[in-house]
A and B are shown apart, each in its own frame.
Chain A
């Protein structure tokens, strides 16, 4: 069984080396099939489903690895053999890994997955995206039910700022926008969802924008909590949102497109019962869960994604051993 390593090594060689394994297994199976009485009966089987085991891949960041471990856990709980293949790489790498059969299943995010397969799409809300996504996927790929859990860009303020200006959504910002300083990654100045989107969708032009180049990390959060900025662009599953009691502003105009967690799978390669188990997990998982899980794998006393997922599964009544 493949085990999770908390610090994945160099990615490209690791991926290609591992990708060979299922191919080799398939080769052996084909050879052994030749010796049986009816070789043709085995011919159309693909590598991933031969032994009824599911290989769950993940992207190369902790949250994806945690969700992959959750998927593997609920599959085992449902009696399906499952292993994980963590840290495959960026979307280009793991989507083609599903297509070529080296993995059977991978967690993804609805908005970015749709834009990956259809860069022209204008869908923004969760429903719009799910209306387009299944049909936009290439042959052989399928998605299951999306989860309510979401990791997307958001406008975040401190509790004090929210109280001072009575902010609950970005619409509330519009009237006071000229007094607010927004901090975020440099691309926020230019991307469609950034300052241009705030202006066109919410008529919001901030007093100033402070670029902080740490991808919504601790420096950006620090800028917000210190008061150097009033609003920050960070991800909805950032642990600091809970730790610092920050307020995520609602986005009624869908300036930031929905990014629900969703299982991307190879069509017809998931064994009986897998779909129900994964859909049940998706219905249970929340954004708050993701924050807590991200918290568990970062900072002091961090545990591995596998351990964090294990703990969540146990707390939620799964037997994932």
Chain B
């Protein structure tokens, strides 16, 4: 009860909403870190997932490596990269990309691999080149599943981007880590709420996007074959 009212006080204190280290600035930093991480992760994972799903080669390796990457703790990676490279944006972003790639990669691969072989054969029979089969058949059919992986990754990245504040960076994690350091639980709880709101908002945006990019023919039941 006390904690909740403290959190409310922190969230509604106008001094927390203006200035350089204020909530809007921290949210913007948080969104920026998460956005860059997601962009890089999508650029790495989607083409790789399409390639592996289309050719069917290397699936075992990709699934295995993705699984192994998921087991790496982000905070441990952040510390390791920071010790190797020094401070800066690269260590936390790299650690977060490693967190984001596996769900996107496996979902993209699964989306493509699950396309009905009969549909692909039909496309080929109509004279489509392998590129056209990928672009016109496999990608549209795989998109809903791949988007599911991207949404999953985005949720994880936004929640985990708080680790950037373990070193001298910003984002909403700043309140979490600084609050813990001085046992200010109201501040911690407030920032946790903001992170959750941000994650849910991002998920809502991506859900709308997922719907928009889904081919009308499969829109009603995106996960069914």
Could you list which residues of chain A lie within 8 angstroms of chain B, going by C-beta atoms?
183, 185-187, 189-191, 210-214, 218-219, 222-223, 226, 228
Q: Which residues of A contact B199 (CB under 8 A)?
A: none
Given contacts A191-B182, A214-B166, A222-B82, 11 further A-B contacts (CB under 8 A): A186-B180, A190-B182, A210-B167, A211-B167, A211-B174, A211-B178, A212-B167, A213-B166, A219-B82, A223-B86, A223-B168
Q: Nearest B residue to A220 by beta-carbon distance?
A: B167
Q: Which residues of A contact B123 (CB under 8 A)?
A: none
Report the separation of the CA atoms of residues A140 and B174 in the bound assembly, to the nearest whole angstrom.
44
Report the separation of the CA atoms of residues A190 and B183 in the bound assembly, to the nearest whole angstrom.
11
Q: Determine if B167 and A219 form an interchain contact, defined as CB atoms under 8 angstroms apart.
A: yes
Flag B55-93 by CB within 8 Å of A: 1 or 0 each.
000000000000000000000000100110011000000
Instruction: Let me know if B181 is at the binding interface, CB within 8 A.
Output: yes
Q: Which residues of A contact B87 (CB under 8 A)?
A: 210, 223, 226, 228
Q: Nearest B residue to A225 by beta-carbon distance?
A: B86
- Set B79, B86, B165, B177: member contacting A226, Cβ < 8 A: B86
Q: Determine if B83 and A211 form an interchain contact, defined as CB atoms under 8 angstroms apart.
A: no
- The total of chain B residues at the interface (CB under 8 A) is 15
Interface SS of A by simple majority: mixed
B180 to chain A, nearest CB (A): 8
Q: Nearest A residue to B83 by beta-carbon distance?
A: A222
Q: Which residues of B contact A212 (CB under 8 A)?
A: 166-168
Q: Nearest B residue to A217 by beta-carbon distance?
A: B79
Flag B155-187 by CB within 8 Å of A: 1 or 0 each.
000000000011110000010011011100000
Report the separation of the CA atoms of residues A98 and B132 in the bound assembly, to the nearest whole angstrom.
79
Q: Determine if B177 and A211 form an interchain contact, defined as CB atoms under 8 angstroms apart.
A: yes
Q: Determine if B181 and A187 form an interchain contact, defined as CB atoms under 8 angstroms apart.
A: yes
* 17 chain-A/chain-B pairs, Cβ below 8 angstroms: A183-B168, A185-B181, A186-B177, A187-B178, A187-B181, A187-B182, A189-B178, A190-B181, A210-B167, A211-B165, A211-B174, A213-B177, A219-B79, A219-B83, A222-B82, A226-B86, A228-B87
Q: Which residues of A contact B181 (CB under 8 A)?
A: 185-187, 190, 213
- Set B79, B82, B86, B168: member contacting A211, Cβ < 8 A: B168
Interface SS of B by simple majority: helix
Closest 5 pairs between A and B when the two form their complex, measured CB to CB: A210-B168, A187-B181, A186-B181, A186-B178, A228-B87
Q: Which residues of B contact A183 (CB under 8 A)?
A: 168
Q: Given the known A-B contacts A210-B168, A211-B168, A213-B166, are A190 and B83 also in contact in the complex, defined by CB atoms under 8 Å? A: no
Q: Determine if A222 and B182 form an interchain contact, defined as CB atoms under 8 angstroms apart.
A: no
Q: Which residues of A contact B167 (CB under 8 A)?
A: 210-213, 219
Of the candidates A187, A190, A213, the one having the most CB atoms from chain B within 10 angstroms of its own CB is A213
Report the separation of the CA atoms of residues A163 and B166 in the bound assembly, to the nearest whole angstrom.
31
B78 to chain A, nearest CB (A): 9
Q: Nearest B residue to A223 by beta-carbon distance?
A: B87
Q: Which residues of B contact A190 (CB under 8 A)?
A: 178, 181-182
Report the separation of the CA atoms of residues A185 and B167 in the bound assembly, to the nearest whole angstrom.
9
B19 to chain A, nearest CB (A): 14
Report the separation of the CA atoms of residues A189 and B79 in the bound assembly, to the nearest whole angstrom.
21
Q: Given the known A-B contacts A190-B182, A210-B168, A212-B167, are A218 and B83 also in contact in the complex, defined by CB atoms under 8 Å? A: yes
B87 to chain A, nearest CB (A): 5
Report the separation of the CA atoms of residues A290 and B181 in the bound assembly, to the nearest whole angstrom.
26
Q: Which residues of B contact A210 (CB under 8 A)?
A: 87, 167-168
Q: Nearest A residue to B173 by beta-carbon distance?
A: A213
